[in-house]
Amino acid sequence: MNEIITGMDIGTSKICTVISQINKNGDIEIRGVGVSPCTGLKKGVVVDIDETVKGIKSSVSQAEHMANIDVRTVFLNVAGGHVSFIKNRGIIAVTGENREITKHDIVRVIEAAKVIAIPSDKEIIDVIPIQYIIDGYDEIRDPIGMIGTRLEVDANIVISSTTSVENLTRCIRKADLEVGGVIASPLAEGEVLVSQDEKELGVCILDVGAGTTDISVFKEGTIVYSKLLPVGGDHITNDIAVGLKVSLAEAERLKKQYGFAMADMIDEDEEININVIGSQNPVKIKIKDICEIVEARIHEIIMLTNKNLIESGFKSSISTGVVLTGGGISQIKGSVELAQKILGIPVRIGSPDYIGVSLPTHSVAVGIIKYVARHKRDMLGTGAIETKDRRLNGQFRLIDRVKEFFSDFFQ
């Protein structure tokens, strides 16, 4: 099995591309990683196609060079706050020989679950089976091979903005690549950051990126809540720049080097020199001044998270705690302790457990790969798993190809 799967996380400040190979045992091996700055998105939405394409090409080029593989197809993400989840049931009659349920029946019942009225500006990007029901017997996870006359599925239908998906897809095409599928970020992160037991009992993934914060709650094995907050790590950088009158680059450096989320734990007298705009000589400030700015913004992010969880009614569902990930605040010392103090529940840092991609900033890209590797047989009509000799092992269905051709031609 020499399948190559490429996951791409298109974020507000960076694009992360991870190339993986599925070995003969079905395990994921990371082959290449590329991270490139991106200024083409704001709050998870494409605002500059050319800049986004530039970031995509740079990120893919880095990963290809490391992996020594030419990438044709990528699976990309759409932020959790830009998707919604609707539960629906699909029902079919089992028509096969001896009434044995086959993979074809699974395809049919999932297609039946997708028959749902949605607004014209939305589209279905995924279907997540919650349970199968055979002749009234429920809580079945894998019905293939069982006997029955009627097959039902309870599923979460993942719906996203057509405009968001189309703009992301257009950027991928302009970078001379194919889109294998679009995965909701929370589903990807759920593959690598939390266990199945945590999903069953109740867990929250808090992904604080550069421009947004994505809140996702899992319960009884599936996602039950997702919310996007328009605040992230870049707001901390901007606060430091304004408060201390330094450039954004200097503010980012100060945040990473001296930032601490709990200012009371910092020595009152410790000082450093900073480069203030308009001053030719370095200016001395207390490190605690930086930490107070950092703490104020992180406090706001966590407070907003807590408010949303309470108002949604899902905070009580979080039995196993909160997993903090993303590059916004997870790498700032004291963030976990502050979040735990405000939320009143256990908080830990979440990152992928793979060599070379073990930072919180890699969570979505690696999660996409694991999601596709685990669910690829269900990703009908969108699949594009590449083989090591660079041939496509699965192609878009003909009707999808035709639709894509006319869509591009008349846009």
Query: What is the reported pLDDT for 251?
Result: 94
Contact yes or no for 159/125 (Cβ under 8 A): yes
How many other C-beta atoms lie within 10 A of the C-beta of residue 310?
11
SS (H, E, C) 307-357: HHHHHHCCHHHCCCCEEEECCCCCCCECHHHHHHHHHCCCEEECCCCCCCC
Task: Measure the CA angle with vertex 182, ends 111 and 108; round to 5°.
Answer: 10
* pLDDT greater than 70 at residue 377: no
Contacts of 195 (CB under 8 A, 6+ apart): none
Query: Would the pLDDT of 96 be above 90?
Result: no
Which is more confident, 286 or 377?
Answer: 286
Residue 153 pLDDT exceeds 90: yes
Mean pLDDT, residues 235-241 taken together: 95
Region 315-341: mean pLDDT is: 94
Q: With 0-12 CB in 10 A as exposed, 13-18 as middle and 19+ as buried, what is 325? A: buried
pLDDT at 289: 93
230-250 b/e with 16+ CB inside 10 Å = b? ebbbbbbbebbbeebbbeeeb
Smallest CA-to-CA distance from 41 within 200, 288, 210 is with: 210
108-143 pLDDT, tens per residue? 999 999 999 998 899 999 898 989 999 999 989 899
Average predicted confidence (pLDDT) for the chain: 88
Looking at residue 91, its amino acid is I
Sign of CA dihedral 263, 265, 267, 270: negative
CA distances, 11 to each of 17, 136, 343, 344 (Å):
11, 44, 26, 29
d(CA 113, CA 150): 14
Q: Which of 125, 87, 80 is nearest to 308 (CA)?
A: 80
Contact between residue 384 and residue 394 where contact means Cβ atoms under 8 Å apart: yes
Per-residue confidence (pLDDT) for residue 376, from 0 to 100: 63
* Model confidence pLDDT, tens digit, residues 272-320: 999 899 888 889 999 999 999 999 999 999 999 999 999 999 999 999 9
The confidence band for 18, taking pLDDT boundaries of 50, 70 and 90, is very high
What are the extents of the domains in the chain?
3-81+163-190+356-410, 83-161
Residue 138's contacts (CB-CB under 8 Å, 6 or more residues apart) are 131, 132
Q: What is the dihedral of CA 284, 289, 293, 294, to 10 degrees?
A: 90
Percent of the chain whose predicted confidence (pLDDT) is above 90: 69
pTM of the model as a whole: 0.84
Residue 2: its pLDDT value, please? 66
Higher pLDDT, 3 or 90: 90
- Give, in degrees to the nearest 5, the angle at Cα 33 between 190 and 45: 60
CATH class of 3-81+163-190+356-410: alpha beta
Q: 385-406 in b/e burial notation, b at 16+ Cβ within 10 A?
A: bbeeeeeeebebeeeeeeeeee
- Is residue 1's pLDDT more than 80? no
Identify how many contiguous H helices and E strands the chain contains and give both numbers. 11, 19
* Predicted local distance difference test score (pLDDT) of residue 388: 47
- Give the fold, CATH level 3, of 83-161: Dna Ligase; domain 1 (3.30.1490)
Q: Are 190 and 367 in contact (CB under 8 A)?
A: yes
Do you know the residue count of the chain? 411
For residue 287, give the H/E element and its range: helix 287-312
The confidence score (pLDDT) of residue 219 equals 92
For position 393, what pLDDT does the model report?
36
Cα atoms found within 13 Å of the Cα of residue 187, Cβ hemisphere only: 26
